[in-house]
Each structure stands twice: as structure tokens, then as C-alpha cells.
Amino acid sequence: MSSKKKNLSSFEGESHTDARGMRIGIVTAAWNKEVTDTLLRGALSTLETHGVDKNDILLYEVPGSFELPQGASLVIQELQPDAVICLGCVIQGETRHFEFISQSVADGCMNLGLKTNVPVIFGVLTTENHDQAIQRAGGKHGNKGDEAAFTAIRMVDMKRMLKIQKGQPS
């Protein structure tokens, strides 16, 4: 199904997951701040709507998207959150820089999550232009920050359920 006209951040039909007691780190890139601030607002709203206490949301900023995996790694090492959301925006330019940054950040987030067994959520927009970024950060295509936060909640919930099934306290 094409997403050209769809709000990708609609969670209609999804079961409501109770996120009370979850500790969630959010690492946000300062580069493209107009976009990343909107992603952050969306993520915060979704976390709070699902019951995450404001005191259990750990907010940190890094210079750019390339630094997101390192920032997430530091948050995991020092604070042991249940999940970390990485929010950033990389916009296509005239050089291949876009490709290197986008792939490195995606790989870094994935590898960190696998290595630490802490969900590391890739909430990074990789768009062709500024308008596409705006449309995915609160515009007609929803807010990727909302989606990233909902994904973090779902992954922490899955981890909790697996511990319960295994007979361990969540």
C-alpha cells in the first residue's frame, strides 16, 4: 500500500499498551532542529499518553544524527533504560554524504540493540528534501516521533512478556 496520502502515525486498531514503570531514553540530534524538535514533541506525547512518567523519560541531545548510536550507547551504559529512541533527520544533498550517514546510523542503532539487548529505536527521517521531513514530523504523514515512541513501548512490553513466560519477574 502506498503511503503517499496516509498518516503513518495512526495507531487505530492497536491494543493499548500500559507503559507505566518503563524508563525510556530519548537521544535527539540537534542538526535539523526544526524537524527533530517536532519529532521529540511527538515522542514525548505518545510516551506520556501511554503512561510513562515524565521522570522516567531520559532526554539527551547529540550534535547530529551520526552521533545518535554513540549517545544511545552512553545512555544504556550509564542509566540502563528499558529502551532508547534515537531521533534525527538526514536530508539528501548533492553528495553521497547522505548515504554514508543514513546507513551508518541505521547500522549503529541496530547493532547496539542486538549487542545490549536493549531496544534501540530508529526514529531518523531520511528524506529527499526539507518538505518531506516536515510532512513526516507532524505533517500530513504523521509524526515519526510518535511511531518511534510507540515502537519502544511495544518492544519493552514484548521483553516483559517474555520474562513473564520464562517465569522471571518483569
Q: Name the active-site residue from 50, 97, 130, 141.
A: 97
H or E stretch at 7? none
Residue pointed to by grid coordinates 529502551: 83
Q: What is the pLDDT of residue 10?
A: 53
Distance CA 51, CA 24 (A): 12
Stretches in the chain below the pLDDT threshold 50: 1-3, 6-9, 12-13
Are 75 and 57 spatial neighbours (Cβ–Cβ below 8 Å)?
Answer: no
Longest dimension (CA), the chain: 54
Global pTM? 0.89
String of b and e for 90-119 (b: at least 16 CB within 10 Å)? bbeeeeeebeebbeebbebbeebbeeeebb
- Residues 137 and 89: beta-carbon distance below 8 Å: yes
Domains in the chain, ordered, with CATH? Answer: 24-165 (3.40.50.960)
Q: Percentages helix, strand, coil for the chain, rounded to the nearest 5?
A: 50, 20, 30
Per-residue model confidence as pLDDT tens digits over 25-64: 999 999 999 999 999 999 999 999 999 999 999 999 999 9
97 in active site: yes
Query: What is the DSSP annotation of 77-145?
Result: HHH--SEEEEEEEEE--SSTHHHHHHHHHHHHHHHHHHHHSS-EEEEEEEESSHHHHHHTEEETTEEHH
